[in-house]
Amino acid sequence: MDYYTINPVVAYKLPWNLSLAAGLMVDYSSIDLQQGLTPIPNNDLFEFKGDAWAASYNLGLRWQPVKKLAFGLTYRSATQMDYSGHTATLSNGGPLPVVPETYGPASMNYKFPLDVDGGISFRPTEKWNLEFDADYNDWSELGNLSIHQSAPSPLVPLSTIPVDFEWQSSWYFEWGATRYFDNGWHVSAGYIFNQNSTPQAHYTPLLADQDRHFFSLGVGYKGKHLSADLAYQLGYGPDRTVTGSAAPLGYPAAYHPADGTYAFLSNAVFVSVGWHF
């Protein structure tokens, strides 16, 4: 999936150290969904391709009641993407007869969830900044999607094809601290807890979703013209055992393809360099 956004924003500063912002988002997305029709690898394939345009909005608020303390809140609306494109089916042989690739006009409505993010910044001295953020994503808005075919294909003789997500809303919780030095250098450390969004019945190894923990350390420099940052992040997810996962379209009901135990481990390095005129 590709997703692009144009987002002009207007901000206005009010009395009481309060600032408000609002923006209009023009969004474009293209999507390519693929799924096998039987448990036999490389036997046959169902595919939906489409694209869509949509409009949405975002809002922001910042309040700094005292010099050492600031609050921020952002809201990004849900975005309804009405994809228009086509479906295709292709059998590559095996126990099923060979069926040539078949195309047919199709559509799908996909709702990207709303996002709300709130944060607090506390500066006990000019040398320290302590932050906490909470980020809410309403993935439950996805629910059950449907692909609507105008001409059912030989392998999928349905005019409406269900695509089960049934995800659940989840949170990010983020803590961070930065120490500034007189020579332009600073060091930072942070921790993020990412709550899982996928229930067992609709789990997919493609996302490997589970509760995850991220730890990061970084160092940076900001001079008159040059700024640079280097950070390392370790991500870890405790083992998650999935049982009773739902069978995809065309599979026997007793088939549970996502059942198993999953773990998560990642290492990431971030580098940024800027020049200020």
Is the Cα dihedral 20, 118, 121, 68 positive or negative? positive
Q: What is the mean pLDDT of residues 3-21?
A: 93
**Strand-pair partners of 51:** 30, 84
pLDDT of residue 74: 96
Is the Cα dihedral 103, 256, 166, 241 positive or negative? negative
pLDDT of residue 143: 72
pLDDT of residue 48: 84
Cα 75 to Cα 161: distance, rounded to the nearest angstrom: 33
pLDDT of residue 157: 67
Is the Cα dihedral 210, 161, 243, 169 positive or negative? positive
User: What residues have CB less than 8 Å from 226, skipping those under 6 apart?
Assistant: 273, 274, 275, 276
**For residue 221, is pLDDT > 90?**
yes
Amino acid at 164: D
pLDDT of residue 128: 95
Tell me the pLDDT of the chain averaged across its residues. Answer: 85
The tens digit of pLDDT for each residue in 75-126 reads 999 999 999 988 877 655 555 555 556 678 889 888 888 999 999 999 999 9
pLDDT of residue 87: 82
- How sure is the predictor about 32, in pLDDT bands with cuts at 50, 70 and 90? confident
The tens digit of pLDDT for each residue in 37-79 reads 555 555 556 778 899 999 999 999 999 999 999 999 999 999 9
- How sure is the predictor about 248, in pLDDT bands with cuts at 50, 70 and 90? low
Tokens of 232: 């390392």
